[in-house]
Chain A
Amino acid sequence: MFYREAGDFKTSYRDDNQTFPIRLDRAGYWIALFVAFCVIPFFVNDYWVNSIFAPFFIYAIAALGLNILTGYAGQVSLGTGGFMAVGAYACYKLMVAFPDVSIVFHVLIAGGITAAVGVAFGLPSLRIKGFYLAVATLAAQFFLVWLFNKVAWFYNYSASGQINAPERSVLGVVVTGPNTEAWAKYMICLVFLVVLAWVARNLTRGMTGRKWMGIRDMDIAAEIIGVNPLMAKMSAFAVSSFFVGVAGALFFAVYLGAAEAGESFGITKSFLVLFMIIIGGLGSIFGSFAGAAFMVLMPVILKNLLVGTLGWPTEIAAELEFIIVGGLIVIFLILEPHGLAQLWRLTKEKLRLWPFPH
């Protein structure tokens, strides 16, 4: 009834190009941002941040990164976990080596290092496609995790083989280490997520994004109309790996506080992020958020429902959780193979007309 385009006239191409062309969408976006920045930080506690917000924000960054590579540029990757590990270990080394530099720069540089590694492992994509490329990136996953476990220099020869985030602060507020306040953890992840999501949106709606999608949809035609396949694929790998690297750095430094490559960044991580973008929707910014939210929230909600409300024993609930989450994934994909983003899009299209049939 209120979700309408009528009366919302666009008189310039700038207006027509905006991300949320419908007024209600724009309002919703600003309200969501306002609530996220100005309301939630005053109410969050450790439980909410550690089990919901921090993992959701960080996985959303990783999902955005993988979505750029797989959803937009069409290059399948199973190396997400390995690239997150690169971000985490680069961040750790930087934090230890340059304690005076702000962690924000450490995280960004860690992203840059991951981008370089991503480009190196992305080179095979010039020759191979599809499943074969997936296998090549799988090699990156196993190699990187092995490297961080084997070469002691990466974890500074610590006896446990783990890396531990030292205490660092931004603008006088502690954001890493055991003394971090819940809201500080929340804010740093949120800021990184919002800025990176904005960057992802800008890149994908401009010429870079069109080149990526051209390569995805029909690579030979794209090359013949002027897309340099080398540059398009490598920029996709670089940008994607940057996002994933930042996610890895935050995952280690802010969320976990201590990490071990095989355990924190194993192959399951790669699959988890891949599932997020498949369930959320390939080639969609919103889909990255929806997928990350689904995969992070579903287990939490189920646990609360089964243990808290129904009073089941924890261990049975834990097993059932897997079954139910798996079942839900299947149901969602049958319902809408193009993911939650498509479901959302269809709902909006219906809403535009509601309550009239035509």
Chain B
Amino acid sequence: MTTDMNADSYVTEDGRTIGPVVMDLKNITLRFGGVVAIKDISFNIREGEIRAIIGPNGAGKSSMLNVISGFYKPQEGEVWFRGSKRPQMKPYQVAQQGLARTFQNIALFEGMTVLDNIMTGRLNKMNANLFQQAIWKGKAEKEELENREACEKVIDFLEIQHIRKTPVGRLPYGLKKRVELARALAAEPSLLLLDEPMAGMNVEEKEDMSRFILDMNDEFGTTIALIEHDMGVVMDLSDRVVVMDYGKKIGDGTPDEVRNNQDVIDAYLGVSHD
């Protein structure tokens, strides 16, 4: 079966529907002084897809993610989100629009319990004011209980029930990664950014994480953009792949297209200069 990937929406071979473009990055250039981290890169992310960003170390992948999540402001280029151009925004405002992310080096709140960390992910869903919270009546209590229920679903989904009340600082690395994913997922994001979700994991943990990512996409329809170094994982999971090298885009397409792209092969394996 052939699919027209430029259509407004299409159905993948495994039966998932890929919708219209959610996030469109147009001619992004990011400079730190004289260093050009990202050079004139354009690509888009479509609803319901798993989009991978790959490239050698220092290619500018994490910078790209930071541009998307509003942490870096690109000098040139436009970020379009859900059909409208995104104005200059603070990161927390971007989060309110429905973006959630995880970090390359885990950025959990170590002093809080797993449950509190995940509940923090839902902060944009709760808007009881300070006085309501101070007396813990009415809206404050109602919201707390409703959101607790939503968090429990995420906890269930990621199979971390047994560590709910444990302070995050006491957890091993693999579980921390999972809790961080739970915190991002609890926000019910329309776009979820994962920065190296499988870094430093063994094969078994990688398999677990891959399964969670696929299930998330499948069950909740979450759109996911991820950076990953494990090629096997990337090629298996993603619908489309962007390849970056030295801040430039050198490939973009399905895993198969990217795998056979000569520029990509050169970037990863090197070119002989003789």
Contacts and interface: CB of A to CB of B under 8 A. Distances in A.
Contact of A226 (B92, B112, B133, B134): B92
Interface string A182-214: 000000000000000001001100111011011
A224 interface: yes
A224 B92 contact: yes
Nearest to B140: A206
Interface stretch (B9-17, B80-88, B116-124, B212-220): B116-124
10 contacts: A13-B145, A207-B144, A210-B112, A218-B107, A218-B109, A218-B110, A224-B95, A225-B95, A225-B121, A228-B90
Nearest to A227: B92
Given A223-B90, A224-B91, A227-B92, A210 B123 contact: yes
A214 B91 contact: no
A199 B135 contact: yes
B130 A221 contact: no
B103 to A, nearest CB: 7
A202 B101 contact: no
A14 interface: yes
A283 B116 CA distance: 14
Contacts of A213: 109, 111-112, 116
A106 to B, nearest CB: 20
A220 interface: yes
Contacts of B123: 207, 210-211, 225-227
Contact of A13 (B92, B112, B149): B149
Given A210-B112, A213-B112, A199 B134 contact: yes
A202 to B, nearest CB: 4
Contacts, number: 103
A226 B96 contact: yes
A225 B187 contact: yes
B133 A224 contact: no
Contact of B95 (A199, A207, A226): A226
A93 interface: no
A10 to B, nearest CB: 12
Interface in A311-342: none
Interface string A118-152: 00000000000000000000000000000000000
The list of the 6 closest CB pairs from A to B, nearest first, reads A226-B95, A221-B107, A217-B109, A202-B136, A206-B133, A13-B148
Contacts of B100: 225
Measured as residues with beta carbon below 8 angstroms from the partner, the interface class of chain A is 20 to 34
Contact of A208 (B95, B107, B109, B133): B133
B69 interface: yes
A225 B120 contact: yes
Contacts of B91: 223-224
Contacts of B107: 218, 220-221, 224
Contacts of A283: 111
A14 B92 contact: no
Nearest to B101: A224
Contacts of A226: 92, 95-96, 123-124, 187
Contacts of B109: 213-214, 216-218, 221-222
A224 B102 CA distance: 10
Interface string B24-66: 0000000000000000000000000000000000000000000
A288 interface: no
A211 B130 CA distance: 12
Nearest to B116: A210
Contacts of B116: 210, 213
B237 interface: no
Interface in B118-164: 119-121, 123-124, 126, 128, 130, 133-136, 140-141, 143-145, 148-149, 152
